[in-house]
Protein backbone atom coordinates (compact mmCIF):
# COMPACT_ATOMS: atom_id res chain seq x y z
CA UNK A 1 0.00 0.00 0.00
CA UNK A 2 1.31 3.43 -0.99
CA UNK A 3 1.16 6.15 1.64
CA UNK A 4 -0.32 9.18 -0.16
CA UNK A 5 -0.14 11.50 2.85
CA UNK A 6 2.21 14.48 2.60
CA UNK A 7 4.64 12.76 4.99
CA UNK A 8 4.49 9.53 2.97
CA UNK A 9 5.16 11.38 -0.27
CA UNK A 10 8.03 13.28 1.37
CA UNK A 11 9.54 9.98 2.62
CA UNK A 12 9.32 8.54 -0.90
CA UNK A 13 10.97 11.66 -2.32
CA UNK A 14 13.77 11.40 0.25
CA UNK A 15 14.27 7.75 -0.69
CA UNK A 16 14.51 8.64 -4.37
CA UNK A 17 16.94 11.45 -3.53
CA UNK A 18 19.16 8.99 -1.65
CA UNK A 19 19.06 6.57 -4.59
CA UNK A 20 19.92 9.37 -7.03
CA UNK A 21 22.81 10.49 -4.82
CA UNK A 22 24.25 6.97 -4.71
CA UNK A 23 23.87 6.62 -8.49
CA UNK A 24 25.62 9.96 -9.04
CA UNK A 25 28.48 8.85 -6.80
CA UNK A 26 28.83 5.53 -8.65
CA UNK A 27 28.57 7.19 -12.08
CA UNK A 28 31.13 9.80 -11.03
CA UNK A 29 33.58 7.14 -9.88
CA UNK A 30 33.04 5.20 -13.11
CA UNK A 31 33.62 8.33 -15.22
CA UNK A 32 36.82 9.11 -13.30
CA UNK A 33 38.07 5.54 -13.72
CA UNK A 34 37.10 5.42 -17.43
CA UNK A 35 37.38 9.05 -18.60
CA UNK A 36 37.62 8.28 -22.35
CA UNK A 37 34.33 6.38 -22.22
CA UNK A 38 32.66 9.19 -20.28
CA UNK A 39 34.10 11.76 -22.68
CA UNK A 40 32.77 9.88 -25.71
CA UNK A 41 29.39 9.62 -23.98
CA UNK A 42 29.31 13.38 -23.39
CA UNK A 43 30.31 13.96 -27.02
CA UNK A 44 27.47 11.79 -28.29
CA UNK A 45 24.90 13.50 -26.05
CA UNK A 46 26.09 16.93 -27.21
CA UNK A 47 25.98 15.75 -30.85
CA UNK A 48 22.35 14.69 -30.49
CA UNK A 49 21.49 17.99 -28.81
CA UNK A 50 23.14 19.84 -31.71
CA UNK A 51 21.18 17.70 -34.19
CA UNK A 52 17.95 18.57 -32.39
CA UNK A 53 18.88 22.26 -32.44
CA UNK A 54 19.70 21.99 -36.16
CA UNK A 55 16.32 20.50 -36.93
CA UNK A 56 14.68 23.26 -34.86
CA UNK A 57 16.54 25.92 -36.84
CA UNK A 58 15.44 24.32 -40.11
CA UNK A 59 11.84 24.32 -38.92
CA UNK A 60 12.12 27.97 -37.89
CA UNK A 61 13.67 28.79 -41.28
CA UNK A 62 10.64 27.29 -42.99
CA UNK A 63 8.23 29.27 -40.84
CA UNK A 64 9.99 32.62 -41.20
CA UNK A 65 10.45 32.42 -44.97
CA UNK A 66 8.01 35.31 -45.62
CA UNK A 67 10.13 37.63 -43.41
CA UNK A 68 13.30 37.25 -45.48
CA UNK A 69 15.37 35.57 -42.75
CA UNK A 70 15.01 32.07 -44.12
CA UNK A 71 18.42 31.81 -45.80
CA UNK A 72 20.51 32.70 -42.75
CA UNK A 73 18.38 30.55 -40.43
CA UNK A 74 18.74 27.70 -42.91
CA UNK A 75 22.53 28.09 -42.86
CA UNK A 76 22.57 28.05 -39.05
CA UNK A 77 20.46 24.88 -39.02
CA UNK A 78 22.72 23.19 -41.57
CA UNK A 79 25.81 24.20 -39.57
CA UNK A 80 24.34 22.63 -36.42
CA UNK A 81 23.52 19.45 -38.35
CA UNK A 82 26.97 19.29 -39.96
CA UNK A 83 28.71 19.57 -36.57
CA UNK A 84 26.33 16.99 -35.08
CA UNK A 85 26.97 14.52 -37.91
CA UNK A 86 30.73 15.08 -37.61
CA UNK A 87 30.59 14.35 -33.88
CA UNK A 88 28.39 11.27 -34.33
CA UNK A 89 30.44 9.79 -37.17
CA UNK A 90 33.81 10.59 -35.57
CA UNK A 91 33.15 10.80 -31.82
CA UNK A 92 36.85 10.65 -30.90
CA UNK A 93 37.60 13.64 -33.14
CA UNK A 94 34.50 15.33 -31.72
CA UNK A 95 35.83 14.72 -28.21
CA UNK A 96 39.17 16.24 -29.20
CA UNK A 97 37.36 19.28 -30.57
CA UNK A 98 35.30 19.64 -27.39
CA UNK A 99 38.44 19.31 -25.29
CA UNK A 100 40.21 22.08 -27.18
CA UNK A 101 37.11 24.25 -26.85
CA UNK A 102 37.03 23.52 -23.10
CA UNK A 103 40.70 24.54 -22.76
CA UNK A 104 40.05 27.81 -24.61
CA UNK A 105 36.95 28.48 -22.51
CA UNK A 106 38.77 27.87 -19.21
CA UNK A 107 41.73 30.01 -20.20
CA UNK A 108 39.53 32.91 -21.37
CA UNK A 109 37.33 32.59 -18.27
CA UNK A 110 40.42 32.69 -16.06
CA UNK A 111 41.66 35.89 -17.67
CA UNK A 112 38.26 37.59 -17.47
CA UNK A 113 37.72 36.57 -13.84
CA UNK A 114 41.20 37.82 -12.88
CA UNK A 115 40.43 41.16 -14.57
CA UNK A 116 37.17 41.35 -12.64
CA UNK A 117 38.95 40.44 -9.39
CA UNK A 118 41.50 43.18 -10.01
CA UNK A 119 38.76 45.73 -10.70
CA UNK A 120 36.95 44.92 -7.43
CA UNK A 121 40.09 44.15 -5.42
CA UNK A 122 39.00 46.42 -2.58
CA UNK A 123 35.71 44.58 -2.07
CA UNK A 124 35.02 41.54 0.04
CA UNK A 125 35.34 38.29 -1.89
CA UNK A 126 37.77 39.58 -4.52
CA UNK A 127 40.37 37.10 -3.30
CA UNK A 128 38.01 34.22 -4.04
CA UNK A 129 37.50 35.55 -7.54
CA UNK A 130 41.27 35.66 -8.00
CA UNK A 131 41.50 32.07 -6.78
CA UNK A 132 38.77 31.02 -9.24
CA UNK A 133 40.56 32.81 -12.07
CA UNK A 134 43.92 31.22 -11.27
CA UNK A 135 42.39 27.73 -11.07
CA UNK A 136 40.61 28.26 -14.41
CA UNK A 137 43.89 29.44 -16.00
CA UNK A 138 45.79 26.46 -14.64
CA UNK A 139 43.13 23.98 -15.83
CA UNK A 140 42.91 25.67 -19.23
CA UNK A 141 46.68 25.61 -19.61
CA UNK A 142 46.94 21.97 -18.44
CA UNK A 143 44.29 20.83 -20.89
CA UNK A 144 45.42 23.05 -23.76
CA UNK A 145 49.15 22.38 -23.49
CA UNK A 146 48.61 18.62 -23.42
CA UNK A 147 46.02 18.66 -26.23
CA UNK A 148 45.14 16.40 -28.12
CA UNK A 149 46.26 13.85 -25.52
CA UNK A 150 44.19 15.59 -22.86
CA UNK A 151 41.11 14.55 -24.87
CA UNK A 152 41.46 11.10 -23.31
CA UNK A 153 40.97 12.35 -19.76
CA UNK A 154 39.82 15.97 -19.50
CA UNK A 155 36.09 15.96 -20.20
CA UNK A 156 35.41 12.52 -18.74
CA UNK A 157 37.36 13.27 -15.58
CA UNK A 158 35.75 16.68 -15.08
CA UNK A 159 32.26 15.26 -15.66
CA UNK A 160 33.09 12.43 -13.26
CA UNK A 161 34.29 14.83 -10.57
CA UNK A 162 31.16 16.92 -11.04
CA UNK A 163 28.87 13.88 -10.71
CA UNK A 164 30.82 12.53 -7.73
CA UNK A 165 30.56 15.82 -5.84
CA UNK A 166 26.90 16.24 -6.82
CA UNK A 167 26.18 12.84 -5.25
CA UNK A 168 28.35 13.42 -2.19
CA UNK A 169 26.78 16.80 -1.44
CA UNK A 170 23.19 15.62 -1.97
CA UNK A 171 23.41 12.38 0.00
CA UNK A 172 23.63 13.93 3.50
CA UNK A 173 20.79 16.32 2.67
CA UNK A 174 18.54 13.46 1.53
CA UNK A 175 19.50 11.29 4.49
CA UNK A 176 18.86 14.18 6.89
CA UNK A 177 15.44 14.76 5.36
CA UNK A 178 14.63 11.08 5.71
CA UNK A 179 15.74 11.10 9.38
CA UNK A 180 13.57 14.12 10.12
CA UNK A 181 10.59 12.49 8.43
CA UNK A 182 11.11 9.24 10.35
CA UNK A 183 10.73 10.97 13.73
CA UNK A 184 7.31 10.48 15.29
CA UNK A 185 5.11 13.57 15.13
Above 80 in pLDDT, residue 3?
A: no
Every domain of the chain and the residues it spans: 6-182
Percent above pLDDT 90 for the chain: 61
- pLDDT tens-digit profile of 19-62? 999 999 999 999 999 999 999 999 999 999 999 999 999 999 99
Say if residue 133's pLDDT is above 70: yes
pLDDT value at 85 more than 90: yes
Mean pLDDT of 69-76: 90
* Weakest-pLDDT range from 25-29, 93-97, 164-168: 164-168
Query: Which of the four pLDDT bands, split at 50, 70 and 90, describes residue 181?
Result: confident
Q: What is the mean pLDDT of the chain?
A: 90
- Residue 9 pLDDT greater than 90, yes or no: no
DSSP string, the chain: ----SHHHHHHHHHHHHHHHHHHHHHHHHHHHHSHHHHHHHHHHHHHHHHHHHHHHHHHHHHHTGGGT-HHHHHHHHHHHHHHHHHHHHSHHHHHHHHHHHHHHHHHHHHHHHHHHHHHTTTSTTHHHHHHHHHHHHHHHHHHHHTTTGGGGTHHHHHHHHHHHHHHHHHHHHHHHHHHHHHS--
Grade residue 185 by pLDDT with cuts at 50, 70 and 90.
low
Amino acid sequence: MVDSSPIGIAKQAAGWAIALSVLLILAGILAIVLPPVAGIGVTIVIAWLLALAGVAHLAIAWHIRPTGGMFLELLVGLLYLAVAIYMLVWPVAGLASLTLLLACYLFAKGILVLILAFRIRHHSGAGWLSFDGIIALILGAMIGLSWPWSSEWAIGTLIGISMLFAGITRLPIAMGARRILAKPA
